[in-house]
A and B are shown apart, each in its own frame.
Chain A
Amino acid sequence: MKRTLKALPLFGLLLMTVAAPLKAETSDTPEWQALKVTHFGDRPIRENATDLLELEAPFRAEDAAIVPISIRSKQPQTADNYIQNIHIIIDRNPMPYSANFHLSPSLGTVDIATRVRVDRYTHIRAIAEMNDGSLHMVAEHVRASGGCSAPAMKDAEAAMARLGQMQMRMRQPTIGQPVQAQVIISHPNYSGLQFDQQRRTYIPPHFVRTIDITFNDEALIKLEAGISVSEDPSVRFVFTPETSGVLKATAEDSKQDIFTTEQQI
């Protein structure tokens, strides 16, 4: 079914989407039907929007705690026509709505990556919301890995010891040239679902809620994140510094603690 649809001209695909709900075998599931209504009401969502967006996720969640995903736009971000948000939904996670990237047209292009928790076979969806409010989705499915890789912390003590440390990593930037940068914050990102055996109680949720990335105080990316984001949340992105200035990242967690880091370009 999916293959047939891919072969159709774009126009035909759009028509079909409007006419009837698309039944792509790989992504139209009962879970999605419910999630769609919860998060987007009755707004139409164009599916298989591979002309606009590319979602890269591994075939198999090698490590349930750390599944790298990346999203790239196939059209430039312009002031008139740009992706304003990318919503990430992981259907079968405890809290499926996993992340919302607010994106500036000044990014020039969308090329972002993060790491998420995926503990069972699931679809991962990236839904682009354009500045005109239209919604466009791409989806991939990810197999859970077998064996023992629970989405638990590998070394809880080490993680707590460096809580709040931040890194901003970037190749030598050149003004006017796209550069890849990465912001990471060390944080256990407790989901509220982990049990503390010693205290016989659940560890309260304690996770990074937002990461704001600005260049010369102008917003580039703001990530609103939930508990599906891996411990030590990471945002990798590409942007083009048009002048010299300061690239700054500010993270706020669910206890309202604030962490920042910056670099002069």
Chain B
Amino acid sequence: MLAIVNKTYFFTLLLLIPALHGCAETEATDYPLTAAAEGIYFHQGAHEEATPDNHGAIANIGFIVGESCVAVVDTGGSYLEGQQLRNAIRNITETPICYVINTHVHPDHVFGNAAFLEDNPVFIAHQRAPAALAGRQPFYEESFQELLGDAWQGTEFIPASKLVNIDQPLELDLGGRIIKLESYPTAHTDHDLTVLDKKTRTLWTGDLLFVDRTPALDGSINGWLDAMQHLLKIDVEVMIPGHGPISYQGDKTALESQIRYFEAIREGVRSIINDLGTIEEAIREVAVDEADNWLMFEEYHRRNVTAAFVELEWE
């Protein structure tokens, strides 16, 4: 089976996984996977807000298959999506699911965790992830029940039990391949984690990288720009972003676009702050010419400027 996948290296293979009888009841549609590299698959999320129709499947989530273990990287925006991912894994391999890794605790990345409870995996995340999840839980419970409607059914908040400290990467042996988990200082959130498959040099960036979709700042603009500089330096072949299409052959154009976007915000906000301007002015004016470069700009850009402003006024 792995040999078949090997041939797809460098190619985006769309595997249309037929609905299994288990999820036919929920009338789940096909859940296409992309093979990013040998033994690494992901589902590319829609560039939409979470809705009952997309059942929260808006982020890139997937898994890495070793000889003895499967590691899941993010579980999707609802219990339903978690089940779809689990079914998709079982369609490809019977290897035990030993690890469920959350790159951060935003709903589109962790709400499918409960679908993997039956595998009794180790849930792994950044050292600050449990506190971040607990802090947001009441808000998420209320707003996402409303946003997801019926698709909310079964969703549970499952915090990580194994934590990765900043500056202390964790390596996991999946059998025949080692993956390296790295925790970051505050960037996209205050608890971002990346996963590097050393065998194929494939990096799951989590939401440290958005491609095409407007990135959402929920941490620190300065910290995120630092993290992006770090990502630029990592020697990788394939990069799987948190949202949007994958990059191959060490192509870092997407990362550079995101750096340009946040540098434009930082420069614009700093200049308004230095001129003793107001947050409202910054929201109206800063980096608005980036609108053509991003999807869902209306939904996220002003928020990014707002968050950047209150951070940068303390520089």
Binding site for B on A (CB under 8 A): 56, 58, 62-64, 66, 68, 70, 113, 115, 119-120, 144-158, 162, 165, 167, 169-171, 180, 182, 184, 186, 193-198, 230, 232, 236
Contact of B313 among A152, A156, A158, A184 (CB under 8 A): A184
Would B220 and A154 count as touching, CB distance under 8 A?
Answer: yes
Are A113 and B278 CB-contacts (below 8 A) given A148-B216, A150-B139, A155-B220? yes
Prevailing SS type, chain A contact patch = loop
Would A197 and B306 count as touching, CB distance under 8 A?
Answer: no
Contact of A62 among B108, B159, B283 (CB under 8 A): B283
Are A62 and B143 CB-contacts (below 8 A) given A115-B279, A146-B50? no
Contacts of A154 in B (CB 8 A): 186, 189-190, 218-220, 307, 311
Task: Say how far A63's CB is from chain B's closest CB, in angstroms.
Answer: 5
Chain A, Cβ-Cβ closest to B107: A148
Residue with the highest number of chain A CB atoms closer than 10 Å, among B108, B299, B314: B314
**Can you list 8 A-B pairs with a CB-CB distance of less than 8 A?**
A62-B302, A68-B279, A119-B139, A153-B135, A156-B131, A186-B314, A230-B310, A236-B278
Binding site for A on B (CB under 8 A): 49-50, 106-108, 130-140, 142-143, 147, 159, 186, 189-190, 216, 218-220, 223, 276, 278-280, 283, 299-300, 302-303, 306-307, 310-311, 313-314
A146 to B142, CA, bound (A): 12
Would A120 and B143 count as touching, CB distance under 8 A?
Answer: yes
Chain B, Cβ-Cβ closest to A180: B276
A171 to B273, CA, bound (A): 11
Are A148 and B133 CB-contacts (below 8 A) given A66-B307, A154-B218, A197-B159? no
Contacts of A70 in B (CB 8 A): 280
Number of A-B contacts (CB under 8 A): 115
Are A155 and B219 CB-contacts (below 8 A) given A68-B279, A170-B276? yes
Contacts of B142 in A (CB 8 A): 120
Contacts of B130 in A (CB 8 A): 197-198
Residue with the highest number of chain B CB atoms closer than 10 Å, among A64, A115, A155, A230: A155
Contacts of A66 in B (CB 8 A): 279, 306-307, 310
Contacts of B133 in A (CB 8 A): 197
Contacts of A68 in B (CB 8 A): 278-280, 283, 306
A149 to B139, CA, bound (A): 9
Among all A-B residue pairs, the 9 with the closest Cβ atoms = A62-B303, A150-B136, A197-B134, A150-B139, A148-B106, A197-B131, A152-B135, A195-B134, A62-B302
Chain B, Cβ-Cβ closest to A232: B310
Contact of A150 among B135, B219, B314 (CB under 8 A): B135
Prevailing SS type, chain B contact patch = helix
Would A149 and B218 count as touching, CB distance under 8 A?
Answer: yes
Chain A, Cβ-Cβ closest to B220: A155
Contacts of B310 in A (CB 8 A): 66, 115, 230, 232
Task: Say how far B152's CB is from chain A's closest CB, in angstroms.
Answer: 14
A144 to B131, CA, bound (A): 23
Would A195 and B137 count as touching, CB distance under 8 A?
Answer: yes
Contact of B303 among A113, A149, A157, A194 (CB under 8 A): A149
Contacts of A165 in B (CB 8 A): 314
Contacts of B49 in A (CB 8 A): 146-147
Are A196 and B314 CB-contacts (below 8 A) given A119-B139, A148-B218, A155-B186? no
Contact of B140 among A115, A150, A170, A232 (CB under 8 A): A150
A156 to B143, CA, bound (A): 22
Would A152 and B139 count as touching, CB distance under 8 A?
Answer: yes
A180 to B279, CA, bound (A): 13
Would A147 and B135 count as touching, CB distance under 8 A?
Answer: no
Would A63 and B306 count as touching, CB distance under 8 A?
Answer: yes
Would A64 and B139 count as touching, CB distance under 8 A?
Answer: yes
Contacts of A148 in B (CB 8 A): 106-108, 136, 140, 216, 218
Would A167 and B313 count as touching, CB distance under 8 A?
Answer: yes
Contact of B136 among A152, A180, A236 (CB under 8 A): A152
A147 to B45, CA, bound (A): 14
Chain A, Cβ-Cβ closest to B307: A63
Contacts of B147 in A (CB 8 A): 146
Contacts of A155 in B (CB 8 A): 186, 190, 219-220, 223, 311
